[in-house]
């Protein structure tokens, strides 16, 4: 297929989605790009709408396979290449393709033996331990008593990143029983049930202990890179604010990654995240993202857009080595905020970095968010009648 008779469909409108858009254009793709705003928006304009005009945005909340079918069928192009930035629509797209509800759709929707082992973190840890695929943090169900198992300090985490259209909370470090009860009450108010979370041993909270093996995997094709977090936001349990390219990845996480992907019969782009346990001196797998992730542009620019080109249908193989042009990936939205709040040392990372999305666009987005929030506050106080 040439770019004249195919289009790209991105499910997700924030930084991940913008990164895919930018990689598509940088790789030479000139077809139409559609972006599905498939979750309930916070602001009137999405991040990607504010950053570029060269897209077509479809606003439709996707809570079912039929919703996804309606999104895909309203796109006129015959050949649709689907890119995921989060997991909430992957199973819907997979079912739509398997039941022939949509035609001419090219998508990588996860593992061959089923996504439950990937998308449910509790099941993922069990899989790793039971089949001796690697190491995972000690994790217990919400029916067990975490204070008896871990003592006072441990982690509470959602089993899945998405429950329907609910984007669940990230991990929270618990310090005592009272704090745990407050967190669980908050989860329940959000619509979560007790079976939706689990408890886990607390490993290192240092950002540099967090390493990801990333790239592409399918039988006969293996592209592995690595990056580690330099700065997180929030600091102890947040997403990567600044990530560094790791030129020589340790053998342990690479070997674990290979065993896990092979067992799952996985196909497509991925990020497998590890935390280093300083006591046992091993890496433990903590999360699997079966799609594009926030820092994927750092890898795409290094690998000559291998992942983008594979999803577009190119028959290519990874090279034995690539030139490394960028050392860091920076979430400029978060980094600019941290610089403005006194973290001036972070300015040094802007050099030799993939800036996501870019300083000017980040400032534009920050102004838009502040304006939207002030407008919302005025309306709540009775302004703008």
Alpha-carbon distance of 115 to 183, in angstroms, equals 27
- Count Cα neighbours of 249 within 13 Å in the Cβ-side half-sphere: 23
Domain annotation covers residue 117: no
- Please indicate, yes or no, whether residues 294 and 169 belong to a single structural domain of this protein: no
**Burial track 17-39 (b if 16+ CB lie within 10 A, e otherwise):** bbbbbbbbeebebebbbbbbbbb
Alpha-carbon distance of 169 to 215, in angstroms, equals 26
Distance of CA 280 to the CA centre of its chain: 28
pLDDT of residue 363: 92
- Please indicate, yes or no, whether residues 58 and 82 belong to a single structural domain of this protein: yes
Structurally, the chain folds into a number of domains equal to 3
Alpha-carbon distance of 257 to 251, in angstroms, equals 10
Domain annotation covers residue 303: yes
Structural domain containing residue 312: 207-365
Reported pTM: 0.92
- Please indicate, yes or no, whether residues 216 and 338 belong to a single structural domain of this protein: yes
Distance of CA 63 to the CA centre of its chain: 19
- Please indicate, yes or no, whether residues 221 and 83 belong to a single structural domain of this protein: no
- Please indicate, yes or no, whether residues 50 and 182 belong to a single structural domain of this protein: no
Residue in this structure with the two tokens 């975490």, named with its chain if needed: 146
Domain annotation covers residue 329: yes
- Please indicate, yes or no, whether residues 232 and 357 belong to a single structural domain of this protein: yes
- Please indicate, yes or no, whether residues 62 and 97 belong to a single structural domain of this protein: yes
**Which tokens hold the place of 27?**
């790789």
Domain annotation covers residue 361: yes
User: Where are the extended beta strands (E) located within 234-358?
Assistant: 239-245, 266-277, 282-289, 328-331, 353-356
pLDDT at 380 over 50: no
Alpha-carbon distance of 97 to 65, in angstroms, equals 10
Residue % of the chain over a pLDDT of 90:
77
Domain annotation covers residue 126: no
Q: For 35-92, what is each residue's pLDDT tens digit?
A: 999 988 888 889 999 999 899 999 999 999 999 999 999 999 989 999 999 998 999 9
Lowest-confidence region among 64-73, 150-159, 232-241, 364-373? 232-241
Residue in this structure with the two tokens 């709040």, named with its chain if needed: 341
Domain annotation covers residue 307: yes
Residue in this structure with the two tokens 């080109």, named with its chain if needed: 309
- Please indicate, yes or no, whether residues 231 and 192 belong to a single structural domain of this protein: no
Residue % of the chain over a pLDDT of 70:
97
Quickly count helices (H) and strands (E) in the chain: 13, 19
205 backbone dihedrals φ, ψ, rounded to 5° = -100, 5
- Please indicate, yes or no, whether residues 58 and 86 belong to a single structural domain of this protein: yes
- Please indicate, yes or no, whether residues 253 and 347 belong to a single structural domain of this protein: yes
Domain boundary among 200, 220, 249: 200
Alpha-carbon distance of 313 to 330, in angstroms, equals 29
- Please indicate, yes or no, whether residues 216 and 192 belong to a single structural domain of this protein: no
Q: For 269-292, what is each residue's pLDDT tens digit?
A: 999 999 999 889 999 999 999 999
- Where does the pLDDT of residue 202 fall: very low under 50, low under 70, confident under 90, or very high at 90 and above? very high
pLDDT at 381 over 70: no
- Please indicate, yes or no, whether residues 173 and 261 belong to a single structural domain of this protein: no
**Which tokens hold the place of 230?**
């330099």
Domain annotation covers residue 352: yes
Contact 134, 259 (CB under 8 A): yes
Domain annotation covers residue 122: no
């Amino acid at each position: 297929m040439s770019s004249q008779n195919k289009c790209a469909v991105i499910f997700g409108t924030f930084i991940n989605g913008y990164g895919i858009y930018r990689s598509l254009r940088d790789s030479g793709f000139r077809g139409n790009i559609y972006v599905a705003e498939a979750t309930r928006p916070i602001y009137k304009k999405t991040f990607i709408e504010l950053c570029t005009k060269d897209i077509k945005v479809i606003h439709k909340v996707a809570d079912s396979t039929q919703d996804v079918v309606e999104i895909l069928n309203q796109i006129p192009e015959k050949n649709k290449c689907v890119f995921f930035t989060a997991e909430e629509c992957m199973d819907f797209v997979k079912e739509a393709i398997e039941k022939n509800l949509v035609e001419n759709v090219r998508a990588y929707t996860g593992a061959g033996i089923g996504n439950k082992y990937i998308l449910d973190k509790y099941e993922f840890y069990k899989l790793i331990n039971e089949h001796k695929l690697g190491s995972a943090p000690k994790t217990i169900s919400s029916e067990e008593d975490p204070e008896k198992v871990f003592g006072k300090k441990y982690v509470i985490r959602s089993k899945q990143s998405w429950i329907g259209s609910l984007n669940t909370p990230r991990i929270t470090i618990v310090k005592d029983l009272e704090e745990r009860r407050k967190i669980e009450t908050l989860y329940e108010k959000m619509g979560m049930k007790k079976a939706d979370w689990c408890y886990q041993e607390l490993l290192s909270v240092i950002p540099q202990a967090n390493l990801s093996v990333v790239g592409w995997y399918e039988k006969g094709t293996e592209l592995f890179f690595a990056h580690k977090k330099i700065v997180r936001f929030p600091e102890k349990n947040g997403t990567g604010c600044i990530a560094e390219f790791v030129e020589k990845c340790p053998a342990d996480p690479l070997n674990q990654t290979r065993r896990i992907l092979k067992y799952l019969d996985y196909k497509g782009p991925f990020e497998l995240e590890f935390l280093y346990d300083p006591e046992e001196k091993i890496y433990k797998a903590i999360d699997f993202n079966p799609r594009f992730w926030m820092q994927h542009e750092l890898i795409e620019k290094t690998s000559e857009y291998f992942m983008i080109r594979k999803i577009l249908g190119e028959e290519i193989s990874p090279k034995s080595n690539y030139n490394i042009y960028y050392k860091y990936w920076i979430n400029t939205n978060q980094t600019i905020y941290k610089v403005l709040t006194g973290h001036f040392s972070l300015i040094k990372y802007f050099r030799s970095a993939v800036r996501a999305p870019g300083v000017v666009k980040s400032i534009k987005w920050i102004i838009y968010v502040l304006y939207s929030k002030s407008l919302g506050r005025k309306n709540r106080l009775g302004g703008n009648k």
